Structure 1
Amino acid sequence: MSTDDVAEFEAEIPLGKLPLDAWHRAQGGRMVGFAGYEMPIQYEGIMAEHAWTREHAGLFDVSHMGQLSFTGEGADAALEALLPGDITGLKTFRQRYSLLLDEDGGILDDLMVSRRPDDIYMVVNGATKYDDIGWIIEHLPDEITMNHMDDQALLALQGPEAGAALASLIPGTADLFFMQCGPFSWDGVDLWVSRSGYTGEDGFEISLPGDAAVRFADALCALDAVKPIGLGARDSLRLEAGLPLYGHDIDTQAGPIGADLGFAVPKKRREAGGFFGHARIVRELAEGAPSRRVGLAIEGRLPAREGAVILAGGKPAGKVTSGGFAPTVGAPIAMGWVDAGHAAIGTALEIEVRGKRLAATVAPMPFVPHRYHRQKI
């Protein structure tokens, strides 16, 4: 992420403060505006923090995200009218990636949904959480109660040493596999822990009371394997992992099929329907989406940033939606949307950057293999 990218995070409106605000400053975090809050973009430097997370364990503050819970008879079935995922079939202590869709099948947000013993728990993006809440309230039956858990912090511990680090404080977390979750306790504090994250590495997301966040962050960072990591490295890690960023790579113009997120719509939901956007999904499964989200490998060292025009045969064929230098890859990479006819892996394209045309090739994603701690079957 360049200094130009950093500037994009700056905000002129009054910003909220997260429970760890003073803690980040004490750790040397450079604070910027993002999703309505002051958040750390870096501490030691984006490249160093990226490498540390790939090799050890990085602690990310994602408390800006929206944490919601749903209770009431049939809450899972009610949510299936808004989400294309199989929520009624979701087992207790399991979570699933899903999408909030509008009437036309556009993506309002991407999110994680979990079944806990007494409710359905959902984590939505920080920049869209209030819009999400309004949309959900408008369309949920009156008998379903939604609680915005705005007194909770959310921390993400990511990297190959995250499992051992967290288990040294909370031994039971070692038994979790990717996309499993459960209740735990640390130093008298109740935690909800899921083995998940948005870096492509093994790791965890930990929901806990905001007033306990500083103590818990201190305990984690006292471990040799753990350092605090900012937004900049989180962005470069998720780009290498081929994971879309809402508001950039996906939005209301994008549908699940074109966005390469069809895995979030299981066969039983495709066949049964009964949710917003079903008609579009069925149509695009049959006919193909007119444009597709793709990965792009770029020749040379100059990165292509969001908004750069993608060319095929000298003619516009799409736009870059995320891009930058990938430290692990050692080269610039990007994500973008292109016309379906130019979306095949290996397709040669060009990207216009500062009056130059950079050679690019449609590449498979992820750019760096995921290293999730999956259960062996």
Structure 2
Amino acid sequence: MNDNSDEDIEPQAPLMLPLSEWHRQRGGRMVEFAGYMMPVQYEGIIAEHLWTREHAGLFDVSHMGQLIVSGDGAAQALEAVLPGDISALKPGRVRYSLLLNEEGGIIDDLMVTNVSSDDEASYYLVVNGATKWDDIGHLREHLPDEFTLNHLEDRALLALQGPAAHSALDRVFPGVADQLVFMRGTGFEWEGVMVGVGRSGYTGEDGFEIGVPASHAERLADALVALPEVKPVGLGARDSLRLEAGLPLYGHDLTEQNDPVSADLAFAISKRRRAEGGFLGADAVLPLLEKGTPRKRVGLLLDGKMAAREGAPVLSGQDNVGTVTSGGYSPSLERPIAMAYVDSALAEEGTALCVEMRGRELSATVTPMPFVPHRYHR
């Protein structure tokens, strides 16, 4: 496979994002995450969380991997690796998908956008920051040589999320927001550079993800936070927002030990792909769609004030029936919530369970996700 980028070497020490100094100047408390120094919070996680739910938060997600796969027949090539219906993805459309191993385990979850032109078929992939180096290696291994994989290392990625995101974006990029509904994207020129905007995000709110050259990231961030409805928001609130939205986090709720059916992500396998198969892991995953799985990812509402944390056992009576994979305090609901994998027989809404934390048994009830309704603009 051709590769137009320099040889990728997995970083061994924390790297700086294009906006690292920008975050520090605004009071961002920096921590190491996915190999980068990133802001965990500015004024406080709960305040930033609630601001995003009520107004608009600006998140720096430049640690994510931004990739372009191009070449004649790229959709079909990607379908050999991904279980999604990429061939049916029209230009400007965005789709959630998965990278699977041969056993059907989840290597990563990702977003795919058709950015093809009249001259070339091209697909823009956004993968998780902690797994992007492995993802690049996986794609290079499984895509034929005639397809080009570019890692867009010179681009930043910002996420503007919240009910005021539309009005804020419209003042920086007039007319762009009105062109898009949920899971649609577009590209355009801004101040002499190409910018890509997709209407999607990781908070459950309406919002946009904006790919911009690193050279222009600070200028764009300044323009957005100059608006009264926009504040910078850190990793802490991003995690609590995605948990309320019932969105899994790779490395926690999703791992190579989880398959898409157990993870409640079977929607990512289209009807045609279920019928035809032909993707990596299909032989392991497709039978699970018919016969089910021993366990399932569920939401839990906890009584009391103590939050459940990752790794906490889930109990039914004296029996260990599952494990918490994400947990925390919900600022919107003002109570603890969690995601867990539990025995499928106990995954029904309303099932009473317990979570063991620090020698205490916390009462918990299986509940549908999202915990807080999504507000996507469809």
Common fold, TM-score beyond 0.5?
yes
Asked whether 1:210 is paired with 2:214, we answer yes
Shift of residue 166 of structure 1? 0.2
Alignment of 1:231-270 (within 5 A): 231-270=235-274
Shift of residue 278 of structure 1? 1.1
Shift of residue 185 of structure 1? 2.8
Counterparts of 1:135 and 1:243 in 2: how far apart (Å)? 24
Shift of residue 72 of structure 1? 0.9
Counterparts of 2:307 and 2:225 in 1: how far apart (Å)? 33
CA contact (8 A) 2:24 2:30 kept: yes
Instruction: Identify the residue that residue 9 of structure 1 maps to in structure 2.
Output: none
Counterparts of 2:69 and 2:145 in 1: how far apart (Å)? 12
Letter paired with 1:200: G
Letter paired with 2:237: A
Shift of residue 149 of structure 1? 0.4
Alignment of 1:1-377 (within 5 A): 14-118=13-117, 119-173=122-176, 174-374=178-378
Shift of residue 348 of structure 1? 0.6
Shift of residue 172 of structure 1? 2.3
CA contact (8 A) 1:200 1:370 kept: yes
Shift of residue 290 of structure 1? 1.0
Counterpart secondary structure, 2:52: helix
Counterpart secondary structure, 2:175: helix
Letter paired with 1:161: A
Structure 2 length as normaliser, TM-score? 0.95
Counterparts of 1:101 and 1:243 in 2: how far apart (Å)? 18
Instruction: Identify the residue that residue 10 of structure 1 maps to in structure 2.
Output: none
CA contact (8 A) 1:58 1:229 kept: yes
Counterpart secondary structure, 1:171: coil
Counterparts of 1:200 and 1:314 in 2: how far apart (Å)? 36
Counterparts of 2:292 and 2:337 in 1: how far apart (Å)? 25
CA contact (8 A) 1:311 1:349 kept: yes
CA contact (8 A) 1:311 1:352 kept: yes
Counterparts of 1:186 and 1:144 in 2: how far apart (Å)? 29
Tell me the percent identity: 62
Letter paired with 1:364: P
Structure 1 length as normaliser, TM-score? 0.95
Shift of residue 50 of structure 1? 0.2
Shift of residue 125 of structure 1? 0.1
CA deviation digits over 1:183-239, x for unaligned, max 9?
123333320000000000000000010010001000000001100000000000000
Counterpart secondary structure, 1:160: coil
Shift of residue 342 of structure 1? 1.2
Counterpart secondary structure, 1:19: coil
CA contact (8 A) 1:311 1:351 kept: yes
CA deviation digits over 1:286-313, x for unaligned, max 9?
1111110000000111100001000012
Letter paired with 2:140: I
Letter paired with 1:64: H
Moved over 3 A (4+): none
Counterparts of 2:331 and 2:113 in 1: how far apart (Å)? 33
In terms of mean alpha carbon deviation, does 281-290 or 329-338 score higher? 281-290
Shift of residue 285 of structure 1? 1.3
In terms of mean alpha carbon deviation, does 18-27 or 283-292 score higher? 283-292
Counterparts of 1:354 and 1:184 in 2: how far apart (Å)? 53
CA RMSD of aligned residues (A): 0.8
Q: Could you tell me which runs of 5 or more consecutive residues in structure 2 were left unpaired when the two chains were aligned.
A: 1-11
CA contact (8 A) 2:102 2:284 kept: no
Counterparts of 2:189 and 2:223 in 1: how far apart (Å)? 14
Counterparts of 2:373 and 2:189 in 1: how far apart (Å)? 32
For this pair of structures, how many residues does the alignment match?
362
Shift of residue 32 of structure 1? 0.1
CA deviation digits over 1:220-265, x for unaligned, max 9?
0000110000000000000000000000001101111110001100
Counterparts of 1:188 and 1:220 in 2: how far apart (Å)? 18
Counterparts of 2:161 and 2:16 in 1: how far apart (Å)? 23
CA contact (8 A) 1:170 1:184 kept: no
Counterparts of 2:281 and 2:343 in 1: how far apart (Å)? 21
Letter paired with 2:129: G
